[in-house]
Every structure is written in C-alpha cells, then in structure tokens.
Amino acid sequence: MTKRERKVIIASSLGTVFEWYDFYLYGTLAAIIGKQFFSQFPPATQAIFALLTFAAGFLVRPFGALVFGRLGDLVGRKYTFLLTILIMGLSTFAVGLLPGYEQIGIAAPIILVALRMAQGLALGGEYGGAVVYVAEHSPRNRRGFYTAWIQTTATMGLLLSLFVIVTLRINLGEDAFQTSQPLFFGLTGGWRIPFLLSIVLLLISIYIRLQMHESPIFQKMKEEGTQSKAPLSEAFGNWKNGKIVLIALFGLVIGQAVVWYTGQFYALFFLQTVLKIDLLTANVLIAWALIIATPFFLVFGSLSDRIGRKPVILAGCLLAAATYFPLFNALTNAANPTYANAIQTVRAEVVADPATCGSLFDPVGIRTFTSPCDVMRRTMSQQAFRYTQVNAPAGTPTQLVVNGGAPIAFTDAKSFSEALGPAMVAAGYPAANDPAKVKIDGFFSALGSAQALKVIAILTVMVIYVTIVYGPIAAALVEFFPTRIRYTAMSLPYHIGNGWFGGLLPATSFAIVASTGDIFAGLWYPVFFALLTVVIGVIFVREKKGVDLAD
C-alpha cells in the first residue's frame, strides 16, 4: 500500500466512522430517547415509536442515494461527500439541543423525525461516495481489501458510540445519564452529551476531507467530457442497467443487510427487550464482540480478492440462516438461564374463544387492541412471556392458565398487567433482580466473568457473520457498474437493502414476536431474506472480481 493510497483510505474511513457514529447514537439510545420525546404514550408504545423514528432515517436513505449519487456522478466524489458529512454532523448536534416532549410538546417528536430523516439522506450519499472514492484509487487485485477498510467504519462508528455512552453511564450514573444531569438552557440528561460532542468530530472530519483530491478515474473522465449527463435515467431508465441493479439488490445486498442488522442491532435489542439485560451490560457485551470481530472485515475482504465476492457473501448468508436459531437459543441460556428454563418449563395458555382473537402484527405501533384475547396476548408478548393460545367454545371468557393452576380472568388491561408479572415469577420466570442474569459493572469487568465471556463468544460469532457478508460487498457493488453511473447505480441497491430490509428488521422482528408469543419467531425475518439472497445470488449474480473500473 503506497503512502497516497493509505492517505485516501484513512481520510475516507475517518469521515465515514464519524457519520456512522452519528447515525448509531440514536439506535443505541433509542429506549431513553423514546421516553424523552414520546412520553405521552405508554412505555411499550414509546419503545415502538423510538424504533420507528430510528427506522425513518433508514427509509429515506435510498432517496439520499439518488440525490447525492447523481451529484457525485455529475460534479465529483470529493465535494459530494463533503456536503453529506456537513448535513449529518449538524443534524446530530441538533438532536443534543432538542427539548423533549415535556418542554415543547408535539413539536419535539416532529423535529426529531425531521433530523433523523436529514441524517438518513446524508448517509444515503456518504457511503457510496467513500466506497467509490477508495475503489477508484485501489489496485484491481487488492480492491476487496482496500474497500474493506470502509466496511469497518460502520462497526467502528457503532463501537465508538457504545464507548462514549458506556463511559458516560459509568461516570455519571444511570439516573443522571438518563434524566437528571443538568446541562444548559434548561436541558438535562447526560444522554445528550454524545450528540453534542459530535461537533468536534465534525470539524475534524471536514478538515480531513478538504485535504483530499478528486478520484483520478473520475477526473480523467471529466477532462475527456465523457461523464454522464443524466446518471439517474442512464442507471435506472433502461433495462440493461436496471436489471443489474435488481440482481445486485436481491442477489447480494438484502441478505447482507439482514445478517448485518441481526448480528449488531437485533442482538442488542434482544438482550435488552427480551432477556431484560440492563443497558450497561448489554452495551458492553456487544462492544467486546465488535472489538474482537472487526479485524475480520479485512480478512474476508482480502479473501474475496482471491476467490471472488460472490462465494464469500453467499456463504455468509447461508451460514447465518442455518445457525441463527441455535445461536439465539444459546444466547438466551447464557445471558438469562432462569428465563431460558422458564420458557421451556412454564406452560402459559391463553384460553379464549378464537372468534375474539385477531392478528397482533403491528410493526408501526398504531393499532389499538380492545378484545380481551388480543390485549392479554399483547401484554404477554411485551413482557416477554411465552404463551400458547388454546381455543375454547364460543362465549368462553378469556383467561390465562399457568401450569394448570387457577385461571387468571381478564377484567381490564391494567389489572391484568399488574397481576401477570407476580404470577409468572411465581411460576418460574426470573424476577427483575434475578442474580442468575449476566451483569457487569464496568467495561473490563466483563473479562473476569465466565458468564459474560460466554455471551461475548456467542455475540462474536454473530458479528463475524457480519464481517463475512459485509467485508466484500463494497467491492462487489463497485465492480457491477461503469464509472459514468457508478456512484448513483451502486448507492441505490445498497441503501434499499440496508435502509429498508435491514433498517426495518428490529421493529418488524419484534412485531413478529409480539404477534406470535414466541421470542425466537422474529428470526424468521433474517433467515428468509438471507436464504432468498443465496438462491437468487447462485442463479443470477456474475462474478466480476478484478474488472477494470476505468472501462
């Protein structure tokens, strides 16, 4: 690697790490932010709205890919992702200054969603620019390895956000971090500090990117006057290129996306929401898994230079789909053994007239449930209690039977919710302070706990799956498209796959869990799309490792 190539990679990667840090601060703090900006709703609804606001940033990413991809193919790679980092950084800083619902009412969640969408638009243009810029500076036989450095930035950004958050939580205390830490302008809560600190990272990133020069391949094309005059219509307006976009989306990106978000975000969400592991412990465990597994992005990016992008990515998708259920089962046993035993031994039956029981699927959190059967099942799912539905004769009152004991009749939602917890704990589910749950007090204390190390090992396997599918994906997408439309064409399938199919995974998977009563049912979402990618990829994706990007 030459000094010039090293400078290109460092400059591109550092800026992209910062943008991912910005983007994932919200995801890591979604539960706290939900309480601040959606306090008018019940706690369970707060969590759903917080996740949906997180998802809003993903939903607009493809539109950012179109806007900034077109700009990058018209005016250049450098100036486009200089603009995207500015938008991202200012939006993140503004979240730290935004008053909550108690201060400014409905304006708070509206502004929050707007800022999240601005972040999503910027990220839609950022990633494509950084990847194309590095790829167009790379030797063809090392393109997978060089672009894999950019692939580490998403995980490094998440790791950086976790490090800042965990440090503040330990030093401020949980109450001060979540609500009471006084700041300025009447704002409180240490959770705002990571957002406010981003202004320093923004200034550093802008300075670094101002030192960069335009991609030589794009500069040569611009000097010759051969760049596309209408990259959007050229990339998507004819079947020749449009077909490649669809193949790239369904044959590579969607599987990569669901594996990525399952291994890094759904695993964290599962620890906190289903297994009831405290926020500090869950964040530290994920952070250690990221530290251990991150170098494997470079390993599998380099491997793709030797054997091809397609076999590496599809092997990762297949491996993940085949092992997610046993891995999450092992994670449950390791992190919360009392709970793992309870879901196997406690028999909870919702006995009801099937005519009164409807679908509970509610990924956007806007449905109102009034039927006793629906309210009872939804409450069970929200508290992570496994149940089965037993059909009773018409007119039978809805009731819960635990281990064949006396039925718990349904009177109203509040009374049932208050009675449910003690009844399930008495039957064998863990109490909130159950000592068998994994718990650590600091970042390095995790290394002294055999239970924590076991959880870290399982999480590390999931993150290694992420590195298998994500390490080579940048090189694969760059090689699919010609220079004239490369920024535009590769950005759209990447951000549809990661922004829509991946970004919506936590909310959708949790909705599947809530609608079935099975804590593992949400895994069918990533398993299905990973297998779909394997099938389509094997049939339709052509290996293009090492093609000349100047063609």
Distance between CA atoms of residues 384 and 1, nearest Å: 51
437 pLDDT more than 90:
yes
The model's pLDDT over 482-523, given as tens digits with 9 standing for 90+, comes to: 877 877 888 888 888 887 888 778 778 877 887 787 889 999
Here the tokens at position 549 are 């990007």
What is the reported pLDDT for 123? 78
- Cα 373 to Cα 1, 52, 170, 356, 413, distances in angstroms: 64, 26, 42, 6, 11
Whether 56 and 113 have beta carbons less than 8 Å apart is answered as yes
pLDDT of residue 43: 67
Spatial strand order in the sheet of 399-402: 388-391, 348-352, 399-402, 408-409
Is 529 a residue whose pLDDT tops 90?
yes
The pLDDT value recorded for residue 227 is 67
pLDDT band at 109 (very low <50, low <70, confident <90, very high): confident
Assigned token pair, 541: 């994706």
Q: How many CB atoms lie within 10 A of CB 315?
A: 15
Question: What pLDDT, on the 0 to 100 scale, is given for residue 35?
Answer: 82
Residue 157 has pLDDT above 80, yes or no: yes
Q: Which two tokens stand for residue 123?
A: 């990220």
- Three-state DSSP string of 109-160: HHHHHHHHHHHHHHHHHHHHHHHHHHHCCCCHHHHHHHHHHHHHHHHHHHHH
Q: What is the mean pLDDT of the chain?
A: 85
pLDDT above 90: residue 412: no
- Give residue 541's pLDDT: 93
pLDDT grade for 551, boundaries at 50, 70 and 90: low
Which residues does 301 contact at the CB level (< 8 Å), separation at least 6? 144, 145, 146, 147, 148, 149, 151, 471, 472, 475
**What is the rounded CA–CA span in Å between residue 165 and residue 173?**
11
Specify whether the CB–CB gap between 545 and 300 falls below 8 A.
no
When pLDDT is averaged across residues 454-478 and rounded to a whole number, the result is: 95
Q: Note the pLDDT of residue 504.
A: 78
29-58 pLDDT tens trace? 877 888 888 877 766 667 667 767 777 777
Helix and strand numbers, DSSP H then E, in the chain: 26, 4
- The answer to whether 209 and 81 are in contact (CB under 8 A) is yes
Q: Taking 90 as the threshold, does the pLDDT of residue 7 lie above it?
A: no
pTM for this model (two decimals)? 0.85
Q: Which two tokens stand for residue 132?
A: 């194309």
Q: How far apart are the first and last CA of the chain?
A: 23
> Per residue in 334-391, pLDDT tens?
999 999 999 999 999 999 999 998 888 776 666 778 899 998 988 888 888 999 889 9
Average pLDDT over residues 466-490: 87
Task: Quick: pLDDT tens for 201-256.
Answer: 888 878 877 777 766 766 777 776 666 667 777 777 777 778 888 999 999 999 99
Query: What digits encode the pLDDT tens for the residues 66-81?
Result: 888 777 777 776 778 7
Residue 526's pLDDT is what?
Answer: 96
